[in-house]
């Protein structure tokens, strides 16, 4: 059996703190704890947001050209240091987390050198074109699916976070070689026990207020408009309904002007984030661009009923009528109606919150990453794909 030596290629590891970077850092920490050699290749900046795990070799990169995503970076290719570090490390497995230019070069290198290659699908890239593609959005989405299916079909395994994501990818030409790599949650950290009535009062909420919370990076493609209008319409009938927005991003200033009644905490982490979740009453997350929905799982772990989009990712976590409700994606009227249902029934909120907590307890990080390592071992037993480019 080949030794597992993992070279991980990613477009985001330490320069932005988001679900992808945190997931990959947890994976690297787990691999190192198991004694599995791992070397990370990706872009970075002078003052990254994440104190990353493992050793990171920088891949040259530029800022994303889209102004609202300018903090993200796009790798431009390899330099000599990347080649030398990779050759010296001598991996037995290439894991590509981002199919950008750096990932493409990694795929080429793996297939040319007959090194096993696997990929993971973290971001539902094609869903962004409706926001940034303008009149060319449909054509760009078609071309993107052509590239993504070609790219990942050159990998022996593709790791995705939910069964619904597997079905979505199959519809767009992906081979039947996907495996579940779910996301986990620290259930001791994200817990209903973190609820803090004193904190609620300190930010302006009364004991009987019904706090409806949004947690994510503040960009419009997260369906901030649906969140805002749904809460405002329900609050117009029930003034005890209050919005709480946790996060930062380029849409924050405009959202504050449109929704001045909300409490804005900015970015929160650690105990502050857990307390904000647990001190809420409903989690509303209408985004349909997620492949999984880490924030939804965190909210569930804190015992919240969840109203999320009936879309890939979120619907794998929320069972309609059990631990929350599913709203029709981009349908503000439907989200408003279903938020009204949850708001109007305190006993329903209690039952759904308890069900959320029980479901979240099934997602434990060590088991999830341990299953991924078993998939690595299985991949190493299989032949390396022949180059298809």
Rounded Cα–Cα distance for residues 280 and 25 (Å): 28
Query: Chain-wide mean pLDDT for the chain?
Result: 91
| Lowest pLDDT segment from 46-50, 71-75, 142-146 | 71-75
Rounded Cα–Cα distance for residues 31 and 25 (Å): 10
CB distance 37 to 5 below 8 Å: yes
pLDDT digits (tens, 9 = 90+) for 167-178: 888 988 898 899
pLDDT digits (tens, 9 = 90+) for 333-385: 999 999 999 999 999 999 999 999 999 998 888 889 999 999 999 999 999 88
Q: Above 90 in pLDDT, residue 57?
A: yes
DSSP 8-state secondary structure symbol assigned to residue 317: T
pLDDT at 126: 53
pLDDT digits (tens, 9 = 90+) for 42-54: 999 888 888 899 9
| Lowest pLDDT segment from 161-165, 238-242, 273-277 | 161-165
With pLDDT > 70 as the criterion, what percentage of the chain qualifies? Answer: 94
**Across the chain, which distance is largest between two alpha carbons, in Å?**
65
Of the candidates 223, 219, 285, the residue with the CA atom closest to the CA atom of residue 252: 219
Q: Above 70 in pLDDT, residue 128?
A: no
pLDDT digits (tens, 9 = 90+) for 181-219: 988 899 999 999 999 999 999 999 999 999 999 999 899
Q: Above 80 in pLDDT, residue 122?
A: no
pLDDT at 67: 46
Q: Above 70 in pLDDT, residue 136?
A: no
Rounded Cα–Cα distance for residues 29 and 52 (Å): 9
Of the candidates 183, 137, 139, 180, the residue with the CA atom closest to the CA atom of residue 160: 180
Rounded Cα–Cα distance for residues 262 and 242 (Å): 7
pLDDT at 1: 72
pLDDT at 163: 83
In the structure encoding, which two tokens stand for residue 79, read together?
């330099």
Q: In the predicted model, what is the mean pLDDT of residues 230-241?
A: 98
Residue 41 has, within 13 A of its CA and on its CB side, a CA count of 34
Of the candidates 266, 299, 277, 256, the residue with the CA atom closest to the CA atom of residue 200: 277
List of residues 6+ apart from 312 with CB closer than 8 A: 124, 162, 164, 165, 168, 288, 290, 291
Q: Can you count the helices (H) and strands (E) in the chain?
A: 14, 15
List of residues 6+ apart from 384 with CB closer than 8 A: 110, 111, 114, 115, 116, 117, 156
Q: Is the pTM of this model over 0.75?
A: no
What single string gives the DSSP state of each residue in 128-154? GHHHH-GGGHHHHHHHHHHHHHHHHHT
Distance of CA 100 to the CA centre of its chain: 17
pLDDT band, very low/low/confident/very high, at 74 (cuts 50, 70, 90): confident
pLDDT at 132: 52
Q: In the predicted model, what is the mean pLDDT of residues 258-266?
A: 98
In the structure encoding, which two tokens stand for residue 199, read together?
């904190």
Residues counted in the chain: 389
pLDDT at 389: 63
List of residues 6+ apart from 10 with CB closer than 8 A: 20, 21, 24, 40, 41, 42, 96, 97, 98, 103
pLDDT at 346: 97
pLDDT band, very low/low/confident/very high, at 105 (cuts 50, 70, 90): very high
pLDDT at 49: 85
Show the domains of the chain with their CATH numbers: 6-184+365-380 (3.40.50.2000), 192-360 (3.40.50.2000)
At residue 240, what are phi and psi to the nearest 5 degrees? -75, -10
pLDDT at 165: 83
pLDDT at 266: 95
CB distance 164 to 140 below 8 Å: no
Q: Above 50 in pLDDT, residue 316?
A: yes
pLDDT at 236: 98
Q: In the predicted model, what is the mean pLDDT of residues 4-15?
A: 94
Q: Above 50 in pLDDT, residue 145?
A: yes
């Amino acid at each position: 059996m080949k030794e597992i030596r993992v070279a991980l290629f990613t477009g985001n590891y330490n320069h932005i703190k988001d679900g992808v970077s945190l997931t990959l850092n947890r994976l690297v920490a787990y691999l190192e704890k198991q004694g599995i050699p791992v070397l990370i290749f990706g872009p970075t900046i002078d003052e990254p947001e994440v104190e990353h795990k493992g050793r990171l070799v920088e891949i040259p990169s530029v800022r994303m050209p889209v102004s609202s995503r300018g903090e993200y970076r796009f790798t431009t290719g390899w330099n000599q240091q990347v080649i030398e570090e990779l050759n010296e490390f001598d991996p037995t497995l290439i894991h590509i987390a981002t199919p950008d230019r750096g990932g493409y070069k990694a795929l080429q290198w793996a297939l040319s050198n007959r090194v096993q290659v696997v990929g993971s699908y973290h971001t539902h890239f094609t869903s962004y074109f409706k926001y940034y593609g303008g009149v060319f959005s449909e054509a760009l989405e078609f071309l993107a699916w052509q590239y993504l299916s070609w790219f990942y079909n050159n990998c022996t395994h593709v790791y995705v976070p939910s069964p619904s994501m597997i079905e979505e990818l199959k519809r767009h030409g992906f081979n039947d070689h996907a495996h579940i790599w779910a996301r986990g949650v620290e259930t001791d950290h994200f817990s209903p026990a973190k609820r803090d009535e004193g904190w609620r009062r300190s930010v302006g909420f009364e004991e009987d207020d019904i706090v409806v919370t949004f947690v994510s990076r503040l960009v419009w493609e997260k369906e901030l408009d649906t969140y805002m209008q749904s809460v405002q319409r329900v609050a117009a009938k029930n003034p005890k309904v209050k919005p709480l927005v946790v996060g930062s991003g380029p849409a924050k200033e405009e959202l504050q002007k449109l929704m001045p009644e909300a409490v804005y905490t900015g970015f929160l982490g650690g105990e502050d984030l857990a307390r904000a979740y647990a001190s809420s009453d409903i989690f509303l997350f209408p985004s349909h661009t997620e492949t999984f929905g880490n924030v939804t799982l965190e909210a569930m772990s804190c015992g919240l009923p969840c109203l999320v989009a009936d879309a890939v990712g979120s619907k794998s976590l929320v069972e309609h009528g059990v631990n929350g409700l599913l709203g029709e994606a981009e349908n503000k009227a439907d989200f408003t109606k279903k938020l009204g249902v949850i708001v109007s029934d305190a006993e329903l909120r209690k039952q759904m919150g308890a069900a959320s907590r029980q479901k979240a307890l099934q997602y434990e990080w060590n088991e999830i990453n341990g299953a991924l390592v078993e998939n690595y071992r299985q991949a190493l037993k299989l032949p390396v794909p022949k180059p298809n480019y």
